[in-house]
Structure 1
Amino acid sequence: MHAISVRRVRRSLPRAALALVLAALGAALGPGAAPAAAAGHAEECSTEAGPYQKTVERHLKLTVDGVQSAADCAAIRTLQTRHGMEPATGRAGPETWRIVQYERAVADPSALTGCPHGTRLIVCVDLHRQLLWVWDGDHVATGPVPIRTGKSGYATRTGEHRIYERVEKQWSELYEGPMPFSQFFDGGQALHASYRNIWEEPGSHGCVNLRYDDAKRLWQGLRLNDPVYVWGTRGP
């Protein structure tokens, strides 16, 4: 068994399940004794401008002034909700910055730079923008898709690697968590699916986390010895 890098599966209940538990508890306690967090309670819309306010305003074609307004918050929340970010507070933080990078890359393939390509299939892992895609010659075969890489102290190692082992139903004994569609490329670090929300912090223990369907698609398209190129430093 490899010393596999993966963060524990999300420890909290999904919001919908938590709401049902709270509602049941309130019914059991009787009138007037229900927990304060009611089922379906919406997050408050942030009145604070995030550190990437102007970047997000520019992307959403809002007035670029770096000042959070009710309209800004509503538009940013719509962006966050569209990509399944939780909580969707409307604040332009690091996770929202990564959503913007993802949308830009999807909209403009010329933005897929930094990875050598032209004559072969290669998996590209952009640490700064937290993106992955696959070149097949000059054709983008897969992606771009959002990823989550190593947090501080557990960096995803840069350079060109090769997929040396593939395990469809892997379990990490080190971090006690599932790693579906694991494709190992360097010293126990792997491309694999994560059951955590892809925008959720902190990062991984070095692996490249993907959404389940993205990891499955990658599993179906790659083979042993395919190259994986990792570059840059993890962005905000």
Structure 2
Amino acid sequence: MRRRGGGRTVRGWRVAAAALVVAALAVGCRPVTVTGTGGADDRSGRHLPTTAAPAPDGGPPTTGRPTPPVSQERTRRPAKPVQPVMAAGSHGSQVRELQARLAQLGLFDRSPTGYYASVTAAAVRAFQRQQGLPATGAVQPSAWSALRSRTRQPSHAELYPPTTKPIGTPDPRCMTGRVICISKRSDTLAWMVDGRVVSAMDVRFGSQYTPTREGTFAITFKSRHHVSTLYHSPMPYAMFFSGGQAVHYSSDFAARGYSGASHGCVNVRDKRKIAALFAAAEKGTKVVVHR
């Protein structure tokens, strides 16, 4: 025979258990349905984020979403053009050194001027072709390095020669005694004493209609402030050597250079040098005009 108190206890436990189940459902402890890799949705339609899983290689966690590919190609900037060390229009001591070094290689047949123009550009192109470099006529760093490695440091006389063009080999007639040695080939006059060049200067000659005579002569007459009786033009520091032809200073030559010509005389454009020569050369001094 059961006890009433005991029956009530069993039934009470069952009622309590059922109440716990109902309470659990009421607070939302329900299973969720996964609808994709991007997260989960509960039955009310709310999106539930998924928990990221660690990457197998120890990298950043994966979320299941596809990772956009990383481009391996880097954007390359165009290389900056190499600036030339010197080019047409440059001037100064570095250009003078360039010309002197090119002259050592026989590529520049004039005396350094310090001005980079067409003649210098042509000499640079010749050197670049010899070295297998682009013949641009402008001195790039590679060409400047190659030139310096193949030449020596120019001396002061090479950098600042007395004449625009090299004097060249003196005529054999100029090698003894005191001689005014004048070269039509190099357009230079050299004052020589016993085969040694004491001074040198640029000169120009007469045109094809009034040519300067060639040969061996001697100073016959000197005139410090001479004026031509034929052309009425001043001829300072005139030293006559063949009839009316003389060596003298020319202001026209100093101003216009080789764009003009004389009427047969030997024009000098450096007034200081011709004045010194006028003082040193005496009447009877040998004058040699040659090619």
TM-score of the aligned structures, taking structure 1 as reference length: 0.55
How far apart in 1 are the matches of 2:178 and 2:108?
Answer: 37
SS at match of 1:116: helix
Would you say the 8 A contact 2:124–2:137 is kept in 1? no
Superposed displacement of residue 117, structure 1: 3.3
Deviation readout 1:105-131 (Å, 9 max, x if unpaired): 26xxxx332242343111111012111
CA–CA separation in structure 2 for the residues paired with 1:148 and 1:117: 19
Aligned to 2:158: none
Instruction: Find 1:57's aligned residue among 94, 115, 120.
Output: 120
Deviation at 1:231, TM superposition (A): 1.0
1:136-159 CA distances to partner (integer Å, 9 max, x unpaired)? Answer: 00221221x100111111111000
Q: What does residue 245 of structure 2 align with?
A: 189
Aligned pairs for 1:90-105 (under 5 A) are 102-103=163-164, 105=166
Query: Hey, what does 2:170 align to over in structure 1?
Result: 113
Hey, what does 2:229 align to over in structure 1?
173
**Counterpart amino acid of residue 179 in structure 1:** M
Pair member with larger Rg: 2
- Paired residue secondary structure (2:197): strand
Judge conservation of contact 1:163–1:183 (CA < 8 Å) in 2: yes
Aligned to 2:212: 156
Show structure 2 runs of 5+ residues with no match: 1-88, 90-106, 110-118, 130-134, 140-160
- After TM superposition, the score normalised by the length of structure 2 is 0.45
Quick check: 1:135 aligned with 2:135?
no
Distance in 1 separating the partners of 2:194 and 2:162: 23
Separation in 1 of the partners of 2:137 and 2:210? 37
Give the counterpart letter for 2:120 in structure 1. E
Secondary structure, in 3 states, of the residue corresponding to 1:175?
coil
1:122 to 179, 201, 207: 179
**Unpaired runs of 5+ in structure 1?**
1-44, 46-52, 72-99
Q: CA deviation at 1:102?
A: 3.6
- Name the CA distance, whole Å, in 1 between partners of 2:189 and 2:251: 18
Secondary structure of the structure 2 residue equivalent to 1:183 = strand
Distance 1:215 1:101, change over 3 A: closer
1:224 matched to 2:287 = no
Deviations 1:135-186 (A, max 9, x none): 100221221x100111111111000001000000000121121000000000
> How far apart, CA to CA, are the structure 1 residues paired with 2:273 and 2:136?
33
- Whole-Å separation in 1 of the counterparts to 2:162 and 2:277: 20
In structure 2, the CA distance between the partners of 1:120 and 1:190, relative to structure 1 (3 Å rule), is same
- Aligned-partner residue type, residue 276 of structure 2: R
Offset, 1:70: 7.5
1:205 aligns with: 263
One-letter identity of the residue aligned with 1:126:
S
Change in 2 beyond 3 A, CA 1:130/1:115: farther
Tell me the distance in 1 between the aligned counterparts of 2:228 and 2:174. 32
* Partner Cα separation in structure 2 for residue 178 and residue 68 of structure 1: 47
Counterpart CA distance in 2 for 1:141 and 1:159 is: 22
Q: In the TM superposition, what is the alpha-carbon distance from 1:54 to its structure 2 partner?
A: 7.8
